[in-house]
């Protein structure tokens, strides 16, 4: 199975994603520069974290126009699995593959810490190996991760079961204290209606080895590997 890790100017988690998929999980992985339009036969696309274009104007307001994103959108519309992590989540929102927006953290501070998220849906390629209600310990590192959407959009996301990850306490309970950035409905990650595109603010690729403080992120990447293997898509 082959992962395409998209690189933008300012990406800084591209090597984390490459290491997790290639060296930890033993899959093929290849960097794809943002000016390219060939995904090189990838089975899965990863939009990594970082600060694309320095987050000028607005996070990923520029990255959405990179040539590679046209090809990523085609891949996604054809049903290909796409995951956007942190800055990659912001790209997916800007390009319209996912609904909502990400605002400054409600504490107006950059957050870099381990948090807990609860798996809400297991019928996406990236959560098929998880159990509904499973709590994952994952790191976050962002200044603009406060998920926002209109009341109508939030209602639709909930009704369509598109909220994939929700911030929670270690025991899975929700509270204001367990919501690190003030996200509406404690949303940490969502998917599209087709369920093949997932975006989340926490970093599963940085939690694939216990030496890093948690290996809980493995389930996200292992899920898509198992899903594609089971369907014969890779």
Question: What would the pLDDT profile of 90-105 be if each residue is shown by its tens digit?
Answer: 999 999 999 999 999 9
What whole-number distance in Å separates Cα of residue 229 and Cα of residue 98?
Answer: 25
pLDDT digits (tens, 9 = 90+) for 121-174: 999 999 999 999 999 999 999 999 999 999 999 999 999 999 999 999 999 999
DSSP code of 21?
Answer: I
* 80 closest CA partner among 191, 197, 218, 160: 197
Residue-averaged pLDDT of the chain? 95
Helices (H), the chain: 14-18, 67-77, 87-95, 151-159, 218-231
Domain ranges within the chain, ordered by starting residue: 2-231
Cβ contacts of residue 84 below 8 Å, gap of 6+? Answer: 47, 90, 91, 92, 98, 197, 198, 199, 200
* 200 closest CA partner among 178, 217, 213: 217
Q: What was the pLDDT predicted at 56?
A: 67
Q: Which residues form the catalytic set?
A: 86, 203, 205
Q: What was the pLDDT predicted at 87?
A: 94
- Kindly report whether the global pTM for this prediction surpasses the value 0.85: yes
Domain 2-231 maps to which CATH number in 3.30.1780.10, 3.10.129.10, 3.40.50.880, 3.90.76.10?
3.40.50.880
Q: What was the pLDDT predicted at 57?
A: 66
pLDDT digits (tens, 9 = 90+) for 72-82: 999 999 999 99
**Under a CB-based contact definition with an 8 Å cutoff, are residues 142 and 105 in contact?**
yes
Q: Which residues pair with 19 in a beta bridge?
A: none
Q: What was the pLDDT predicted at 59?
A: 64
């Amino acid at each position: 199975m082959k992962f395409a890790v998209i690189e933008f100017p300012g990406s800084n988690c591209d090597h984390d994603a490459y290491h997790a998929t290639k060296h930890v999980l033993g899959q093929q992985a290849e960097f794809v520069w943002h000016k390219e339009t060939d995904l090189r036969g990838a089975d899965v696309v990863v939009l990594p974290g970082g600060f694309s274009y320095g987050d000028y104007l607005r996070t990923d307001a520029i990255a959405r126009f990179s040539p590679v994103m046209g090809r990523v959108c085609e891949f996604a519309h054809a049903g290909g699995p796409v995951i956007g992590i942190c800055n990659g989540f912001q790209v997916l929102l800007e390009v319209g593959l996912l609904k909502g927006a990400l605002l400054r953290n409600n504490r107006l501070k950059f957050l870099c810490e381990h948090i807990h998220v609860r798996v809400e849906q297991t019928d996406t390629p990236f959560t098929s190996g998880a159990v509904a209600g499973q709590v994952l310990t994952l790191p976050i590192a962002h200044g603009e991760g406060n998920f926002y959407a209109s009341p109508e959009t939030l209602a639709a996301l909930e009704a369509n079961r598109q909220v994939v990850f929700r911030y929670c306490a270690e025991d899975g309970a929700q509270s204001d204290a367990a919501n690190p950035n003030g996200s509406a409905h404690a949303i940490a990650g969502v998917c599209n209606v087709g369920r093949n595109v997932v975006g989340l603010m926490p970093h599963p690729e940085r939690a694939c080895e216990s030496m890093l403080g948690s290996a809980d992120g493995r389930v996200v990447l292992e899920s898509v590997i198992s899903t594609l293997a089971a369907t014969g898509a890779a």
